[in-house]
Amino acid sequence: PGDARALTIVAHVRAYSRRRLSEAIELHERALSINPNLPLAWVLSGLAHIYQGDHAEGIRRVEQARELSPLDPAEFWFDMALALAHLLRHEHPEALAAARRAADMNPYFSSTFKAYTASLGHAGQPAAEVLAHLLKLEPTFTVTDYSGTPARRSPCANHSRSSGRASGERAIASV
């Protein structure tokens, strides 16, 4: 109960795997009250807010994480979260820039490549190479499978789904 890192990881599991966003946000707040200088708690609480549809608050929290740890070895998490938030806000240049940074930092983090593919689609740019990389990381990934994730249930999720079609994700699946 007094370990901020453990609380924020439990909160992320509840947000992402269990879809219990209000409960997750409460746990993140507890974690941040214990340790307000924990970048992991800020970025994961930012994701919970993004999943809930409060993209501005999510972005603010992710930027707080970056401010606390500007040279964080897991900085790709920050940019992946920003890519998702900007994508859902229809801010395609920002989403694409953040997704590219995250992919450059960690080419093995599949979540990045989902937002990256969608961002390319909305930008009208070819996505086949990025999509192929995603499928190497997650060979069974489909847009249909993505429908169970909290990001997909965000109030702006249809925008992300439509970008899959725009980017040529028909090769994966159609929704």
Residue 27's nearest CA partner among 56, 54, 6 is 6
5 versus 166: the higher-pLDDT residue is: 5
Structure token pair of residue 70: 């500007």
pLDDT band per the 50, 70, 90 thresholds, residue 67? very high
87 burial via Cβ count (<10 Å: 0-12, 13-18, 19+)? buried
pLDDT greater than 80 at residue 76: yes
Question: What per-residue confidence (pLDDT) applies to 147?
Answer: 56
Average pLDDT, the chain: 86
For the entire predicted model, the pTM comes to 0.84
Question: CA separation (Å) from 13 to 125, 149, 173?
Answer: 33, 12, 27
User: Over the stretch 48-58, which tens digit does the pLDDT of each residue have?
Assistant: 999 999 999 99
Question: What per-residue confidence (pLDDT) applies to 165?
Answer: 47
Question: What per-residue confidence (pLDDT) applies to 150?
Answer: 55
Residue 58: which residues within 8 A CB-CB, separation 6 or more?
A: 46, 47, 48, 49, 50, 81, 85
Question: What per-residue confidence (pLDDT) applies to 102?
Answer: 98
Helix (H, G, I), strand (E, B) or coil at 173: coil
User: Over the stretch 121-170, which tens digit does the pLDDT of each residue have?
Assistant: 999 999 999 999 999 999 999 877 665 555 554 444 444 444 444 444 43
